[in-house]
Amino acid sequence: MAHWRSDSLDWRTGHYLVNMRAVILISGNGSNLQSLIDNAIKIDLEICAVISNNRDAFGLKRAELANIETFFVDPNLFTSNEEFDQKIITIIKELDIKLIVLAGYMRILSASFINHFSGKILNIHPSLLPKFPGLNTHKKAIDAQEKYHGASVHFVTEELDGGPVISQEIVEVDSSDSEYSLAQKVLEKEHILYPKVIHWYTQNKLKLINKDCITLDGKIL
């Protein structure tokens, strides 16, 4: 199956610009994946493959419709998380990938995976980190009577949802909000936030200096 090529023509030179090769890891619906597919040309991204640990993830269908190569890796075939992640590493290395994007990927990455691709893994999380890491963030925000909630994009480190935050989008929490309505408001912001941050990365503006420090345009955030 062909890769989703999003090379753009530089009108000044007449040459095609080479976009950054990326793989996207998903577990479910893939709405953030769809946002990245729709914006790939604008953000200099070439989505080479979509990998999932869930055979029934609708995101795999989204990728197939966009003519993107897909991989289902069955966790039940492996005896440990490290062994599973080694399979993912093998796939990624064969594709010569420069960026790994987590988009609703519901597995905790092993330390060996994170260290192998240090500085090359981005994640989007539905809360204003460091508040509410982990699952059920919208319920936690409502239960805590937060006035504001949102989404964060961060580099992935060994600490769960604890890597340095790159950028956030904020929504107001209304007294009438349910978990579902709040999730929809946050998701709408995610679809704006993630392409923006990934574009910074594909333009080589964004770098992880160490586990606690990132730079954008050479300036520490």
Encoded tokens for 182: 């709040």
| Cβ-proximal residues to 64 (8 Å cutoff; 6+ apart), any chain | 1, 70
Q: Is 125 a catalytic residue?
A: yes
Strands 8-10, 99-102: parallel, antiparallel or unpaired by DSSP? unpaired
Q: Are 81 and 110 in contact (CB under 8 A)?
A: yes
Q: Which of 116, 125, 149, 154 is catalytic?
A: 125
CA trace torsion 64, 70, 75, 79 (10° rounding)? 170
Query: What angle separates helix 31-39 from helix 179-202, to the nearest 10 degrees?
Result: 40
| Cβ-proximal residues to 31 (8 Å cutoff; 6+ apart), any chain | 104, 187, 190, 191
- CB count in 10 Å sphere of residue 184: 13
Encoded tokens for 7: 């090379």
The helix/strand/coil state of 161 is coil
Residues taking part in catalysis: 125
